[in-house]
Structure 1
Amino acid sequence: MTRIESRYEGELRCRSSHGPSGTLLETDAPTDNQGQGERFSPTDLVATALSTCILTIMGIVAKRRGWALEGCTARVEKTMTADLPRKIAQLTVWIELPPHLDAEQRTVLQQAGETCPVKLSLEGSVPMELHWS
């Protein structure tokens, strides 16, 4: 179990503390929802969680097999619903694997990324598209 403590700071901003490390994270409402958009929004964090989870799970597999994964990138785009209630309508992720990987390595890493815990947790609730190159 991981404990994260969050506090509303006013002006649609929150500050959260990661229990194990003490790392702080601040959020802000986006400009299209009454905020200043100066920090990640809570739904931005969901999108970020997806892309970084994919990279992390692939990193675990690559490390276990002795493959270099440095330089692998993921870009995520989040689309919100136009109607109320506001929610994430779509998450689209583009993952670019390093060019030195062979076809078998790419297949293994793609299969690993497709099973990251965040993606599995969101499936059925949030439409997602993953594009691999």
Structure 2
Amino acid sequence: MVKMSAVYQGEKHCELLHEQSGSKIVTDAPKDNAGRGEAFSPTDLVAIAMGSCMLTTMAINCEKEGVVIKGSRVNVEKEMAANPRRISKINIVMHLPQSVPHDYRKKLEGFALGCPIKQSLHTDVQVPVVFHYDL
């Protein structure tokens, strides 16, 4: 079990704490929802967490099999729906090393698509993922 906490700081800002490591993140409401957009919004964190989760899930499996993906990166765009306000779409673009063997790429992509966050989101959330082997 991982313990975390959040404290409301006022003006739609929260400070989040990962208790085990002491790491902190601040959030703000987005400009289009009464905030100033001065930090990640909670829904921004969900979207970028999915990208990070995909990279991490791939890395865990690649390390077991001796495939190097260091330097890989992900670009994420989040789209919101209005009624009810919710994440409607998370566009994911993965940039991976050209050195990943061609016969391993589908397996690698399967690891990304099986990440725990993607598996945890409601099926109504669209998650198109594009893989580029261009690094």
TM-score interval (norm. to shorter)? over 0.9
1:1-133 alignment to 2 at 5 Å? 1-81=1-81, 83-133=82-132
Is the CA contact 2:89–2:126 (under 8 Å) kept in the aligned structure 1? yes
- Identity %, equivalent residues: 38
**What is the CA deviation profile of residues 62-114 of structure 1, one whole-angstrom value per residue up to 9, with x for unaligned ones?**
11111111121111110011x23211111110112111112122122111111
Asked if 2 retains the 8 angstrom alpha-carbon contact of 1:97 and 1:106, the reply is: no
Which residue type is aligned with residue 46 of structure 1?
Answer: V
Runs of 4+ in 1 over 3 A off after TM superposition: none
SS at the partner of 1:105? helix
Rounded Cα–Cα distance in structure 1 between residues aligned with 2:74 and 2:108:
13
Give the residue type in structure 1 aligned to 2:101.
D
CA RMSD of aligned residues (A): 1.1
Partner-residue secondary structure (3-state), 1:58: helix
Which consecutive residues of structure 2, in runs of 5 or more, have no partner in the other structure?
none
For 1:63, give the aligned amino acid: E
Q: Unaligned regions of 5+ residues in structure 1, if any? A: none
What is the TM-score with the length of structure 1 in the denominator? 0.94
Q: Is the deviation greater in 121-130 or in 21-30? A: 121-130
TM-score (norm 2): 0.93
How many residue pairs get aligned? The number is 132
State the distance in 1 between where 2:86 and 2:44 align.
11
| Offset, 1:123 | 4.3
Residue type of the alignment partner of 1:11: E
Letter in 1 for 2:44: D
Q: By how many angstroms is 1:125 displaced?
A: 3.9
* Conservation of the 8 A alpha-carbon contact between 1:73 and 1:96: yes
Q: Give the C-alpha shift of residue 29 in structure 1.
A: 0.5
Code of the aligned partner of 1:22: G
